[in-house]
Amino acid sequence: MAHTLDVLSDLAARRRGAVNRLPSVDGVVSALKPGDPLVCLRPRLIEATARSFTSIFPGRVFYAVKCNPDTAVLRALSAGGVSHFDVASLTEIETVHRLLPDARMAYMHPVKPRASIREAYAKYGVRDFSLDSVDELAKIITETGHAADLGLFVRLKLPKGNAVYDLSGKFGAAPEQAVTLLRAARDAGKRVGLCFHVGSQCLDPSAYERALDLAGEVIRAAGVQPDVLDVGGGFPVSYPDATPPALWEFMSAIARGFRRLNLPKCELWCEPGRALVAAGASLVVQVQLRRGNELFINDGVYGSLSDAGVPAFQFPVRLVRPGGEQASQEMQDYIFFGPTCDSADRMAGPFPLPADMREGDWIEIGQMGAYTNALATPFNGFYPNTFVELEDEPPSVGGAD
């Protein structure tokens, strides 16, 4: 009982921003019997992942804050050597600045509110901005008062690739337009960059090489030497239905493509999100009802499990049944329903779990650090906002690559 109270006071401490360390997911579930979804963060794993990523990427690493803006996550990344952040809104800028006042930020959203450009530049010292149109270029120039110290990044549109999340539909200038923009940026900016995004959870290292080849064509046609080439995010992690090539294969493809461009004075940047944080959290949910092979759980697509909905990511799952009671050795495939009244709150999985799953069981869902709590809404009165931090240990489900 005393232990339960300790854990609860630790939880309260966590909300005050103090760091607590709990031993294991099973221990937390035994002690807390959580009736609300519980995000279990592993800051030391995030720190180690950040350290290894930054040591093998041949350039500067900007963390894409949208992927998980939790302060414990940002702090862990910073401890792991990430000091640059890719931000897309004033709120993200404020969050990073409050926690890490010395961090360098790049505002890489190609369509920004004028007031946000102004404040980012004047109040938060942001100098690097992306754009994919002449109108946006004009906005940046006007709102920074024709500043002489801008870094202007032309976002290049890529042909649709085979990343799990295609990002080619919304942003990016077609090559001919990128040529025009690169020349205009050269006239207006102190630094000129070219950036792109191959799509999230990209499973093909050569996608970066092809994108760099396309960047090379634009650079030659424009006759403009960029100061920075930014290969964006998209670096993949493992899920039960996807084992991507090792991270070093992506790094060699990028290094190869970059070398071919023969730009000795150009810096190389990247903007990973998922690859830095996916393994750094798991989610504990509770079964509210079983109906055949359907489990009604207390988190769903309007909460931390957006990617388990329409994108149908298969996350690793594990039964947590405290008290030492044996579960059935026989496994079966389940689908999940989330807690809201929307029938779209459905996760097809399949999620393999013991055949005797029942109301009250807890399930630990792994690889829950990326695009999870960041996407949660309070729809229908359900909002997963309880976090604990776990000691450094191998994750009990899923894992780092």
Ligand X SMILES: *Cc1c(COP(=O)(O)O)cnc(C)c1O
**Interacting residues with ligand X (CB under 6 A):** 64, 66-67, 86, 108, 197, 200, 232-235, 271-275
Handedness of CA 111, 112, 113, 118 (dihedral sign): negative
Nearer to ligand X, 25 or 108 (CB): 108
Q: What's CA 1's distance to the chain center, in Å?
A: 37
Measured CA to CA in angstroms, residue 19 lies from 31, 44, 386, 396 at distances of 18, 12, 14, 21
Q: Where are the beta strands (DSSP E) in 156-310?
A: 191-195, 228-230, 267-270, 281-291, 294-297
The nearest distance, CB 362 to ligand X, in angstroms, is: 28
What are the residues whose beta carbons fall under 8 Å from the beta carbon of 381, sequence distance 6 or more? Answer: none
Q: HSE-up of 69 (CA within 13 Å, CB side)?
A: 19
C-alpha 94/C-alpha 91 separation (Å) is 5
The nearest distance, CB 158 to ligand X, in angstroms, is: 12
The nearest distance, CB 315 to ligand X, in angstroms, is: 16
Residue tagged active-site, from 40, 67, 266, 341: 341
What amino acid is encoded at 321 in this protein? R
ω into 350 cis (within 30 of 0): yes
The nearest distance, CB 187 to ligand X, in angstroms, is: 24
H/E stretch holding 74:
helix 71-79
The backbone region for 125, taken as left when phi is positive above 0, alpha when psi lies in -120 to 50, beta otherwise, is left
Nearer to ligand X, 194 or 320 (CB): 194
> DSSP secondary-structure letter at 77?
H
Reported residue count of the chain is 401
Nearer to ligand X, 60 or 197 (CB): 197
Nearer to ligand X, 235 or 302 (CB): 235
The nearest distance, CB 257 to ligand X, in angstroms, is: 17
The nearest distance, CB 398 to ligand X, in angstroms, is: 16
Nearer to ligand X, 161 or 339 (CB): 161
- List 22's β-bridge partners, or say none: 390
341 is catalytic: yes
Nearer to ligand X, 67 or 77 (CB): 67
Q: What's CA 253's distance to the chain center, in Å?
A: 22
Q: Provide the terminal-to-terminal Cα distance of the chain, rounded to the nearest Å.
A: 38
Which residue's C-beta sits nearest to ligand X?
233
> Which residues are marked as active site?
341
